Amino acid sequence: MTAGAGELRSYGRRRGRALSARQAGLWRDVLPRVVVAGTAAELANPHHLFPPGIREVWLEIGFGGGEHLIWQAEHHPSAGLLGCEPFQDGVVKVLAAMDERPSVNIRLYADDARRLVRQLPAASIGRVFVLFPDPWPKRRHWKRRLLSEGTLAELARIMPSGGELRIATDIADYAAWILLAVRRQGSFRWAAQAAGDWRERGSDWPQTRYEAKALRAGRRCSYFRFLRT
């Protein structure tokens, strides 16, 4: 599955190097056990994607190497983590971790998250994470940025009142873009009370390898928390 008709891709390449024999085995043997097809029928009740005991479902869009996704799953066993990532290398990293430390509360969608979000029922996702999405820094590519008013409206639809949207970026103009888009869209309230609330990660927000790379390069990161009104 790809983006909808006429919809620009919000991510770059889908594959890096060819998979090793072990990675190909994970893709063949482990992925089918945890993959989500993304159909409306399958997603009619996202809780049914997971074993009994899951109290709410969380969504991570573009989980990269999977560090954050796996950490949240391990620290919140009563939450079902639905991870979306179109880049094959990232999916394989999570599959390798799941093969070593089986996790019953992770499900994966290996494609464009927007297609899946459109199939999710209203008010079905308690928390959404969008951490360090592709900033598309050139002005002519800004139309490809994932965090548009349209995407925010779809996220608002699938989240209940009080649901939490977490966004991180290391690009200053994208941070400003995000705040402006949130304000214009109007369904989320910025939870920050002081500058430290968006300049520092909270204790329930683990570092990703992309963030570590950004900090080593001297870039300041922004950590936004928005609440569905």
**What is residue 140's predicted lDDT score, i.e. its pLDDT?**
87
* Strand runs labelled E in the chain: 56-61, 79-84, 106-109, 127-131, 164-169, 188-190, 222-228
**What is residue 12's predicted lDDT score, i.e. its pLDDT?**
47
Q: Global pTM?
A: 0.91
**List of domains in the chain:** 21-228 (3.40.50.150)
**What is residue 121's predicted lDDT score, i.e. its pLDDT?**
98
**What is residue 14's predicted lDDT score, i.e. its pLDDT?**
56
**Using CA atoms, how far apart are residues 129 and 18, in angstroms rounded to an integer?**
29
Catalytic residues: 134
Structure tokens of 67?
Answer: 């560090």
How high is the mean pLDDT in each 10-residue block of the chain (229 residues)?
48 64 90 94 96 96 96 97 95 92 90 95 98 88 89 98 98 95 98 93 94 95 98
- Sort 10 into a burial class: Cβ within 10 Å, 0-12 / 13-18 / 19+: buried
